[in-house]
Each structure stands twice: as C-alpha cells, then as structure tokens.
C-alpha cells in the first residue's frame, strides 16, 4: 500500500519502477523457462528487456535476486489458486482440503510439464539462503491455511478434535514429494501422480474422521 504522505511525483516514480521490475521478472521467467536458470545471464535478461545490464542493476542486484522474484510470483500464483478453492461454497472441511491440495499439485504438474527447465529454479531455491527463507514462508502460509480448514472440521465434529496446526504440518510433510518440481519431473508415469495423492489423503482422513 502506497504511503499517503508520499508526494505525487514520488509515487509516480515508484509506480514506474515497480512496472519496470515486473517487466524484468516476466522476461526473466520466459528465459528461465526456455534456456534454464543456470544458462541465462544478466546480459540475456537486459537485452530481452531492451535495456543495458547497468540499467537492470538499478532494479535487481544480481540474477539470483531476479530468480527469487520469479519464484515469489509463482508462489503467489499458487496461493491465489488455493484461495479460489477456499472461496467455493459448500462442502465439508475434508472435501475442501482435498480440492485445495489437488489444485496445488495439479498446477505444479502443469508447470513442470509446460516448462521443464523451470526445475532449475527449484534447484537454485534449495541452494540459496534467501531462497530457503522464501520457501519456508510459503510453507508456513500453506500450513496456516490448511490448519484453518482442518480446524473447521474439528469444530463441526466431522474430524477428530486435536491440534489443527500440527495436523496440517504432518500432512504437508507427508505430501512433500508432490510439491517438489525435481521429483515431479522425474516421475515415471505422470498419470499416477494424482491417484497416489488421493490414496495418501484417503489414509490420512480415514484416521482423522470423527468416530460416531
């Protein structure tokens, strides 16, 4: 949110800078998807944006910072998809959680299938200190939203009472393999990914459903 005390001309410059940064991130994302993160350099990104490398450095300190911005945009896209599922009317807590998780995994599968080189960004993320912090923030977001849905089920009596946050964390850990682009890319038969996800959720909710 823009500071209301910032002068109009300053706010305009801020908006312009944000627009340029968004353009850089978009173009970098395209290059990373096509050539891979490791083979793309600052010069490539600058040329694609129609600017000099020196000018690009005014907005991002290095390629790693651009990579983190691209990943952040992807995480935001995932979160938006999850929030869309959360807003769907009706259904039980279990049904919403299932739709919520399947939507995220389906999106991850599509990203890897359509942009196989994007896997290199996942490798970079795991090797970068700031990247690991960004990943942890995204995991925390997932855990909090998942816990909220599980808590609703505990409150309405459809799920066994307990620690919703710990339950959410346990489920995310059990499903870690489905969130990792490097694993999804190597999955021999992609048609089995969602059925295996559903099988794990069947086991999970079988133990979590309240007993009458």
Q: Which residues of 123-150 are buried (b: 16+ CB within 10 A; e: fewer)?
A: ebbeebeebeebbeebbeebbebbbebb
Domain with CATH 1.10.357.10 in the chain: 67-208
Q: Which pLDDT belongs to residue 1?
A: 46
Q: Which pLDDT belongs to residue 109?
A: 93
| Mean pLDDT computed over 46-63 | 96
Share of the chain above pLDDT 90, in %: 73
The CATH number of the structural domain formed by 1-60 is: 1.10.10.60
Domain with CATH 1.10.10.60 in the chain: 1-60
Burial level of 32, CB count in 10 A (0-12/13-18/19+)? Answer: buried
Going from the C-alpha of 60 to that of each of 10, 27, 45, 136, the distances in angstroms are: 20, 14, 11, 22
For 146-193, the pLDDT digits (tens) are 999 999 999 999 999 999 999 999 999 999 999 899 999 999 999 999
- pLDDT-derived band of residue 10, with 50, 70 and 90 as boundaries? low
On the question of pLDDT at 8 being above 70, the answer is no
Q: Which pLDDT belongs to residue 12?
A: 84
- Which CATH number does the domain 67-208 belong to among 1.10.357.10, 3.40.50.740, 3.40.50.300, 3.40.50.2000? 1.10.357.10
């Amino acid at each position: 949110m823009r500071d209301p005390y910032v002068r109009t001309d300053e706010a305009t410059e801020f908006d312009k800078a944000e627009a340029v940064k968004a353009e850089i991130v978009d173009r970098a994302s395209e290059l990373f998807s096509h050539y891979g993160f490791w083979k793309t350099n600052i010069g490539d990104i600058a040329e694609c944006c129609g600017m000099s490398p020196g000018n690009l450095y005014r907005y991002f300190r290095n390629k790693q910072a651009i990579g983190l911005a691209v990943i952040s945009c992807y995480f935001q896209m995932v979160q938006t998809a999850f929030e869309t599922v959360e807003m769907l009317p009706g259904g039980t807590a279990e049904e919403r959680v299932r739709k919520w998780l399947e939507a995220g995994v389906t999106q991850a599968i599509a990203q890897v299938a359509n942009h196989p080189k994007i896997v290199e960004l996942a490798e970079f993320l795991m090797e970068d200190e700031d990247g690991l912090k960004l990943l942890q923030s995204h995991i925390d977001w997932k855990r909090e939203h998942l816990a909220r849905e599980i808590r609703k089920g505990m409150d309405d009596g459809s799920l066994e009472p307990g620690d919703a946050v710990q339950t959410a964390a346990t489920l995310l850990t059990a499903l870690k393999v489905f969130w990792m682009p490097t694993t999804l890319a190597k999955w021999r038969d992609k048609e089995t990914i969602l059925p295996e996800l559903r099988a794990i959720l069947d086991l999970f909710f079988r133990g979590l459903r309240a007993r009458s």
